[in-house]
Amino acid sequence: MSIKGRALVMGDNVNTDVLHPSQFFSLDSDRVRAGFLQAARGYEGLGRSNLSDRIVVAGENFGCGSSRETGARAFLLAGVRAIVARSLAHIFSRNVRNLGLVAVECPDLYSLPEQGSEVEINLENYELIISATGRSFSVNRLDPYWEAIMKSGGLMRFLQYAE
């Protein structure tokens, strides 16, 4: 499995309250979607756009902060294809993976790619490839349980197939 897209580059310690502010917390998908990146200075306009060709590429501790699932659900509603970061905050990584979004860690990614550059996450070889530079980086392999959840499209689909 390989996921290709343009990098939506973010830095270190990006808090879920910045990614999805609490005033957009809702069970209504339109309301949740409307809040994506609206507290992230410089990303507000991008947050309103169609992000179906984007892979979030970030630094350390991405998704720290609130454990609200809407902070993770907003990524899916915006169309984000995957997330790769040097490290992911634990609760955030569980939330996005439970929802079926590919989220992996790439500890050696010390230099983030240019905003909008082409990237690929190859989940057969577990590597991140940055097209502009031709560089590749090892991505931490997921536990077999999380791989099965990811391949199923999320925890709920995984549990349906497990019956």
Output the CATH code of domain 2-162: 3.20.19.10
Reported as a single tens digit per residue, the pLDDT across 15-70 is 999 999 998 988 899 999 999 999 999 999 999 999 999 999 999 999 998 888 88
Measured CA to CA, the distance from residue 98 to residue 149 in angstroms comes to 7
Beta strands 127-130 and 118-122: pairing type?
A: antiparallel
Strands (DSSP E) contained in 59-147 are 82-85, 102-105, 118-122, 127-130, 135-138
Reported as a single tens digit per residue, the pLDDT across 103-112 is 999 999 988 9
As a whole number of Å, the end-to-end CA separation of the chain is: 25
